[in-house]
Structure 1
Amino acid sequence: MSSDPSWKDKYFQELESAEHREANWKAERNVLERMLVRTSLASEGQAPELDRLLARVRADLRKNKVDVVSWKELQEQIDRQVALLDDAPGPSVEPAIKAETATVLPGDTHDVENQSQRLSIARRVGHLLGQLLSQVALEPDAEMSARNLQRALLSSDNWDELRDGLNQVADLIVAAVTRSQREFEAFLKRLDERLEVLQEHFSVQTSVLSGRQAAAETLDRNIREEIERVGQHVEASNDLHDLKQSVGRHLEFIGQAVGRFRVDETAREKILTEQLQAVQKKVAIMEAHSERMQGQVRKERERAMTDLLTQLPNREAWQERFSFEFNRWRRYQYPLTVGVMDIDFFKRVNDSYGHKAGDRVLQLVAREIKSRLRNTDFVARFGGEEFVLLFPETQPADALVVMDKLRAHVGALPFHFGSDPLTVTFSAGLAGFVPDDTEETVFERADRALYAAKGEGRNRVNVS
C-alpha cells in the first residue's frame, strides 16, 4: 500500500508527543523539587533534629532518589518535631505577636523574635506557593485549597494555623506530581488504544489483500486450465460440431469464473473502502489530538524555560541559547559578546523592605533590560539578582555603550516602597569571544569583569 509510510509517520509522531509529555512532566517535577528545597531551607534553625530531617529531604532530592514509603515515615518524623517545637516551654507570659492589641512585656524579646521568624518563614513559603501555582496545574479542589492556604500563609498571625498550612504544602506538592503522572499515564493509555485500533484495521486490510491475491491466482489457474483443455480437445476432436460444443462449455466456465471473481472483488473493495474510511477517521482524530498535545508541549516547554518571577528566560534556556551562539561563532567567527550583571546591594532591599519589594525590583529591572535590547540580543535570569546577556555580532566596545545606557536608565528609575524613594543600580562585566575560547572561559572572564566592577565601587560596567 502506498500510504503505509504515512501510518508509520503518525505512529512516530505520537511517540514523539509522548516523549515530549514525559519531558514536561520531568520539568514540572523539577520545579516542585526546587520548591520543596527552598521551603526546607526557609524552615531551618528551629531545632537540630528538625534540621537533620530537612537535610535528609534535600539529600534525597539531590540524589534524585525519593522512596514514597520512607518519605511518609520522614514526614511523620517532621510532623512530630514541629509538634514538639510548638509544645516547647517558653516564658510564662503570652507571646507578644498574638493579636493586634497585644503588648510586649519585659523578657518577651526572645519570644517575639521567634514569632517574627516564624511569620517571616510562613510569608516566604506563601510567596513561593504563589509562584508554584502559576507554574503547576492542580485539580480544581486542590487548587482552591492551595489558594486558601496561600492567603492564610500571607496574612494569618496564628501560628497554629500557619503550622498546619506549612504541613499542607508537602501534600500539595505530592498532589501536583501525582496529577501530572496520572495525566501522562492516561495519555499513554489513550495512545496505546488508538494504535491498537489502527493495528486491527491494518490486519483486516492485510487479510483482505491476501484473499484478493489468492482469488486472482485461482482465477488465473482456472483460465489457464480451461484454455489448455480447449487445446487438447481441438487436437483430439475430428467432429466440428463436438468441437464447437466443447469450446462453448469451456468458455462458459471461464466466464463464470470471471463473474465470481468480480463479485468477490466487489465485496473486497467494499470492505477495503469501509476500512479505509474508518482508518482515515481515526487518523483525523489522532492528528487533532496530536496537534493539541504538540501545542500543549510547546506551551509547557516555554513555561519550563521561563523564570516565573521575571518572565525572562531561565538558566536552562540561557544554556541552550549560549551553546547555540557559541557553535555559530565557532563556525562563522562573527563577533559575540557575553555579559553578566548583578543588582547592587540587593540584599539590603530584601532586608529593609522585604522579599516582596526585592521581587518587584527584579521584575522592573528585567522589564527594562528586555525592552531596551535588540530582538537579536538575549537576556536571562541566571539566579538571584544576577542576569546574563548575549550580544550576537557585537564587539565588546559596542556592547559597553548599550550596557552603560541601560545602567544610567535603571539608575534614574523612580523606585518607591511606601514613602521611601530607592535608587537601584547594577554592575556588569562584558567579555568577547577570542580564538580558542570555550563557553566556560569567556563566561569566566565576564564574571571576573563583573566582580572587578563591584570592587571599583559598583554602578559601572567593565570589559575584560
Structure 2
Amino acid sequence: MASIINEVIKDAIKEANAKHLVLTPDNYYSVFCEVAKKRGIVVEDCQKLEKYMSKLDSPYQLELKKMNVKNVDELFAYISSRLNRLNPADTTKLLQSLVILNKRILQSINVLHNTEAKNLSNVSLQTINRQVSVDSVELMKDKWFNFLSNYDDSYLKKLEPYGIKQSDDIQKIINILLKAKLNPSENLDLKDIAELVVAALVPSIASSMNDELASISSELSKQPELLQSTGMQDDIKRFILKRVDLDKNEFKNKIGTLDEILNDIDSKISHFISISSTSQTGVKTIKQDLHGVNIAGDYTLVKEKLINIANSLDIEISDFLSKMNESDKTIKALQSKVSELEAKLDEAREEIQNDFLTGVGSKKAFNIELNRIESVYQRYGVEYCICFFDIDHFKTVNDTYGHDAGDTILSTVGKILKKYSRDVDFVGRYGGEEFVVILPRTSKQDAILFAQKILKSISGFKFIYKDEEIRITISCGVASRIKHATSKETLQKADEHLYEAKNSGRNCIKYGQ
C-alpha cells in the first residue's frame, strides 16, 4: 500500500508541475486527491469534505453543490457565514431575488425611454423603500421580467428613412429629426393610392370594361409599388383615356335609345291631340326654352326631336285639358292610392333586405352582396373574407328562458356585429342563430383578428333578460376568397370551419391552413 501511495505522490508532483501550480498545501492536497481518485485508490484524508457534507441536512448539501465548494476550508467558510446570519433561509432567498431584480431593472433601462417602464420603476422603488419581503421582491422581479419579455421597439424602424440607424440615444434621434427635411410624399401609403387609381379606371357609365383596364387594375391591387414606375404612370394616363372612351360610347348608345323613344312619343302625342283647336301659352314657353338649350356635338339630334315634340304640343289641346280637368278628382284619388301602395312597397322592400328581428341584412341581401363583391373580385382582384358565426347552445337558451329571451339575444348579437364592423362590411343573418359577415379588402389574418374581437366582446357581454343575466358564447369559421376557386366554395369552407369550431369545444375560431 505504501508503494502505491508513493506512486500517487510522484504523479501528484508531476501533475502540479505540468499545470504550473505553486506547490502549496492546498494545491498539493487537491492534486493528490485527484490523482488518487483516477487510480481508484480511496484515501481517507481525501474523503473529509464528502464526510462532513453528508452530515448536513439535504437543503444545505444541495446549496453547497450549487456553490461548487471544493475543499474543507470553503466548507468551513460557508458554515461560518450561515451561522452569522439572522434568518438564513429568508436572507438567502431575498438576496437572490434582489440580485435578479436589479439585473432586470438594469437590462430594461438599457432599452427604453418608456412611460410604462417609468411607472414600473416607481412601483419598484416604493416596494424597496417599504418593509421588504421575499414575496414582494419576487412579484416585482416577475413584473420586470414580463415587461422585458414583451417589450417591442420595432416601431423605431420607421425612423430609418430619416437616417436613424441606432435608437439607443434619444437626444441624438431628436437632433437628427430636427435637422431632417421631411418630405410628406415619402409617407404616402401606396396601397391607398393604388385603390384610388383603380377606382379612377373603373368606367362610370359603361357596364363592362376593357380587358387591358381590368388587367392593370389587378396588377395595381397586388403590387401598389408599381405606381412609382414611370412606365406604369404613362400606362395609367393612357388607360384613363380608354375608360373615358368607353363611357362616351355607352352614352352614345343610350342617346340612340332615347332618340327612338322620343320618336314614338312624338307620334303618339300628335295623334292624341289632333282634335285640339286652341294654342297654349305654357307649351309655347317650353318651345322657347328648348330653342335656348345649347347642346353641342352629337346631341343636336336630341334637341331637334325635343323641339318637334314641343311643336306638336303647341297644336290645339284645349279639348284634352278640359277632359283632364273633369278627371282631376279621379286622378288625385288614384295618386293617393298609388302613394299608399308605394309606401307599402317600400316597407316590403325593407323587410326583404333587412332581417326584422336583428336589424342586419337578410339572407337574400347577403346573396346579393356576395354576388356584387365577387364581381369586384373577378374584375379587379380585390380580396375579401367571409366570417360565419353561430351562437353556442342557443337551443338551451330558448328551452331554459323562452323564445323571447332568445330573440333578445339574437337582436343584441346583431348590434354587436354591426358595432365592430366597418361601413364597407356586410353583416347578415344567415338563418336561426347563424350570422355571416363579408369583409372586403381584408386579409385572412385581419379577418381572424376581427373574429377574435367579436368572440371576446360577446363572451364578456352581460345579456340581461327580466333581471336575469345570461352568459353567451359564439363560434366562428373564417375563409378567404383568394384561397378558393369560387365564392360558393369560400362560403362552404367558412361553414365547414364553423362546424370544426363547434366540435372543438365552441367559443373558438377555425380557419384552416
Task: Please indicate the TM-score interval, normalised by the length of the shorter structure.
Answer: 0.3 to 0.5
TM-score by structure 2 length? 0.36
Instruction: Return the structure number with greater relative CO, CA threshold 8 A, min gap 6.
Output: 1
Q: TM-score, normalised by structure 1?
A: 0.40
